[in-house]
Amino acid sequence: MSNGEGASPILTLEPLIEVVRESVEGSGWPLSGLQKTTSFEFEGRWEADSTRSAYLFFHREDVPDPVSIDVYLDETSKGLTGNLALVVDLRPLGALGDASEVIRLLGDIAVDGFPKGNRTPLTLRLRLDDAAAEAASAEVEARFKLVLPRRVIETGATALRELCTLAVAGFERVLETPALAELTDT
């Protein structure tokens, strides 16, 4: 490993990608896509700063197609950040009912599934193919996230690998939840 094994801090994007990828693939989720980008901000608050980012996508053949693990990793002048997300397509909004009840239910599922002591944002995305379409036909996507704490990244590959493995295990617990199955078409 390019950053050294164990307790050496991860300092750049490439070793971060490598550790996260190895961890998720080692948990049985093969990589299905990888995109790297570099952005430059020329005006405003981040003038002359650059950001290097990576997006990794993982899918399993034995899991329905609208389910994936999406990873976002970012290297900025302030350090490395990132998150892992379980992405699940839900039934259309009209079949789900009240969005506030759906997000409450998803929150309950996430609290029971993820490692304690980590930030775990939850996103519910609604999309209409056309602004004139019926609201009930809106596509709904849930994103269960686990934020990679800087302290873990700075601790090194071993700690990061352990957290990523726990996150994937948490995602799999979420997928096995009967309450989630009731919200999906699969």
Q: Cβ distance 141 to 89 under 8 Å?
A: yes
Which residues lie across from 143 on neighbouring strands? 87, 123
**For tokens 């309450």, what's the residue?**
179
Domain membership flag for residue 131 = yes
Instruction: Output the six-digit token pair for 74.
Output: 């970012």
pLDDT tens per residue across span 63-82: 877 899 999 999 988 889 99
pLDDT tens per residue across span 43-61: 655 555 668 899 999 999 9
pLDDT tens per residue across span 88-105: 999 999 999 898 999 999
pLDDT tens per residue across span 127-151: 999 999 999 999 999 999 999 999 9
Domain range for 47 is 13-181
* 3-class secondary-structure state, position 49: strand
Distance CA(155)–CA(113), nearest Å, equals 24
Question: What's at 105, amino acid-wise?
Answer: L
Domain membership flag for residue 3 = no
Domain membership flag for residue 2 = no
Structural domain count of the chain = 1
The pLDDT value given to residue 36: 93
Instruction: Output the six-digit token pair for 54.
Output: 């990576």
Helix ranges (H only) for the chain are 13-26, 93-96, 99-113, 150-155, 157-175, 178-181
**For tokens 């199955």, what's the residue?**
181
